[in-house]
Structure 1
């Protein structure tokens, strides 16, 4: 474990019992503090021993606006939405902790020590929970875009994981508070929670915090952060380091370069060539993969559905969300 990641994890989580579209170049989680960015492998999506479910079909190249909506990118701590006219900045939103609702109507993020929800244009801001950690526990939307998986730590006390209903601001702790971990996120069906252990392993548990299982790393691969989870938590997109590559710090990775089967720990291969740096399981079951200058949309069985040329105006930014239809 790198000294930076260990120090920051212990600093934020030492008093806690449990105190994710991903691009594997980790942003600085605290810009004013001057913490150096973490690093990650820049190679192609690692191939695993799990066989392909089917052969990729041919797909022509289209412009993103013709086939994929709801693409959000971060540029440092600024959030942008890709529109037909180009990237549009969403003012007042902190991209480092931002997550977009599956119905593409709301954005949740951390501001100060509170969880804030705004509309998709950053307007009509409302604090729905106070006393939250500023790094390591981003608010994550439920599939129905009505609730958020959040962490509460008033006054820097022990962190409690729970669910806040946006309409009522009511916070309900999980019935079982699991062991230390960071970056929790729901599976698509809401029955599981996937999280990072803080030591480059991935954990899975039931939605109430029970039945915790840590997924074994295979060989010299280290699965540092979950970035996106499929419907039943059988597959998770991760930021994967190999060998002696640095693990980074407690800030979330805004990208993924591998898909891991949570039942076996093995990598799941795809038919996408190039240096994959972002993988998103979309609300409808499709999977979006990003490689330099190219977006590939896969069917749930991982056959190729379509390929798109990524807009030039966002190619140097980090893809953090692919929601909507």
Structure 2
């Protein structure tokens, strides 16, 4: 017979262990792992279903860089797949559009008067390069040359009907008693270059190279100064007062009814210059000088007339305006007072003579209409007419 356990706590623990059923910890862990696996499989299946739904709706795309295209407005017509026709084609296809005759094309290097300035680089007549020629329209028939820095000098004192100065200023052609004469500005005896010249209809106009003269014999023609050979102008160029452009490529001339025409030097016919639209109703009856390209011409404006001889009546009058031969517009020059003379040199430089309050001034413009000089004109030149400017 066993006696009582001397340690009561130990005895109680043995009784408790005997009452608990044996438990396999391995089996318990395995069962827990299986439950977690089933739960993760269910979550994965749900995620797959959601991903498939996003793919089908197109919301899977990530945002792109830059602005997103704007959704089209409901009812708007679709954009055309082919390019629209050119503007000119659309205009020509319109039943209400009238055909327009294109103006004479200008050259890319034509001057632009809009770029002009009224501030001169110099105000001293001594800074003006070249020579200025003035004519005495009285009975004396003098031709006077002004060389800046010197006193005006007479280079021709014989009576003449009309006169022309060579581009380099070294020779003068003039008409006296129906004959064309040529002389040097430095002196020497005049030489007859052609007989039977009609002076009123065509002042002798030198070619840019100084070897030929445009004159009016029985009809306008080109005279070779060295040989005396005369080549008539094409019969399609019906006009008078022909003038060469500075580069020799263009002729500008007066037409019947106080108009102007322009033609290439080898052309058989010319193109009429649009009406000037002068506010006073005057017309460009006679060209005096032409710029380097033929796009601008100095003219004498006279009351419009249908008489072909209207230009002849003012053959000795100086130019008082500059006209654009492409548009027919009168160029608005930055000159104060009244213009009483305007001439181009062969390079396209423009010399303008003006008067205001009894004071005469000379303004020299570059081909781009930059104002190079504006100065007082010497008092000794009063009463003379501006004829030519040479460099």
* TM-score bin (small chain): 0.7 to 0.9
Give the gaps of 5 or more residues in structure 2: 1-110
Does 2:306 correspond to 1:241? no
> Is residue 2:207 matched to residue 1:142?
yes
The 8 Å contact of residues 112 and 134 in structure 1, kept in 2 or not, is answered as: no
Aligned partners of 2:238 and 2:215: how far apart in 1?
15
Q: Are 2:175 and 1:110 equivalent residues in the alignment? A: yes
Larger strand proportion, structure 1 or 2? 1
Cα offsets for 1:16-56 (capped at 9, x unmatched): xxxxxxxxxxxxxxxxxxxxxxxxxxxxxxxxxx9843141
Map of 1:272 onto structure 2? 335
Q: CA deviation at 1:66?
A: 3.5
Distance 1:251 1:221, change over 3 A: closer
Q: Deviations over 1:211-252 (max 9, x none)?
A: 3122121433411111111112111111123679x9674341
Given that residues 63 and 310 in structure 1 are in contact (C-alpha distance below 8 angstroms), is that contact kept between their aligned partners in structure 2?
no
Counterpart residue number, 2:253 = 195
Distance 1:65 1:95, change over 3 A: farther
Q: Hey, what's the Cα distance between the residues in 2 that align with 1:306 and 1:315?
A: 20
Displacement of 1:284 = 2.6
- Tell me how far 1:277 sits from its aligned partner: 1.4
Deviates more, 1:183-192 or 1:86-95: 86-95
SS at match of 1:104: coil
Change (3 A) 1:209 1:117: farther
In structure 1, how many angstroms separate the alpha carbons of the residues matched to 2:112 and 2:129?
Answer: 28
Q: Deviations over 1:260-295 (max 9, x none)?
A: 111111112222222111111112321111112111
Decide which moves more: 177-186 or 138-147: 177-186
Q: Which structure is higher in RCO with an 8 Å CA cutoff and minimum separation 6? A: 1
List aligned pairs for 1:4-83, cutoff 5 A. 52-56=113-117, 58-59=119-120, 61-76=122-137, 77-83=141-147
TM-score under structure 1 normalisation?
A: 0.75
Cα gap change, 1:318 to 1:166, in 2 (>3 Å): same
- Please say which of residues 75-84 and 266-275 is displaced more in the overlay: 75-84
1:97-142 per-position Cα deviation (integer Å, ceiling 9, x unaligned): 1111011110001122221110014523111111211311111101
TM-score by length of 2: 0.63
**Cα 1:55/1:129, change in 2 over 3 Å:** closer
Q: Which deviations, in whole Å up to 9, do the C-alpha atoms of 1:52-79 show, x marking residues without a partner?
A: 4314162255443432331111112221
Unaligned runs of 5+ in 1: 1-49, 154-158
Match of 2:87 in 1: none
TM-superposed deviation, 1:302: 1.0
**What SS does the aligned partner of 1:168 have?**
coil
CA contact (8 A) 1:182 1:195 kept: yes
> What is aligned with 1:178?
236
Q: 1:304 to 1:250 in 2, by over 3 A?
A: same
* Contact 1:79 1:94 (C-alpha < 8 Å) held by counterparts: no
Residues 71, 321 of structure 1: 8 Å contact kept: yes
Cα separation, partners in 2 of 1:172 and 1:309, compared to 1, 3 Å: same
Aligned to 2:184: 119
Equivalent position of 1:167 in the other structure = 226
Q: Distance in 2 between matches of 1:209 and 1:96?
A: 30
> What SS does the aligned partner of 2:114 have?
coil
Name the structure where helix makes up a greater proportion of residues.
Answer: 2
Q: What SS is found at the alignment partner of 2:319? A: coil
Q: Are 1:133 and 1:151, in contact at CA under 8 Å, matched by a contact in 2? A: yes
1:294 matches 2:361: yes
Q: 1:237 & 1:280 partners in 2: Cα distance?
A: 6
Task: Tell me, in whole angstroms, the C-alpha distance in 2 between the residues paired with 1:322 and 1:78.
Answer: 16
Deviation at 1:87, TM superposition (A): 2.3
Query: Residues 63 and 192 from structure 1, CA distance in 2 versus in 1: closer, same or farther, beyond 3 angstroms?
Result: same
Aligned equivalents of 2:345, 2:156: Cα separation in 1: 25
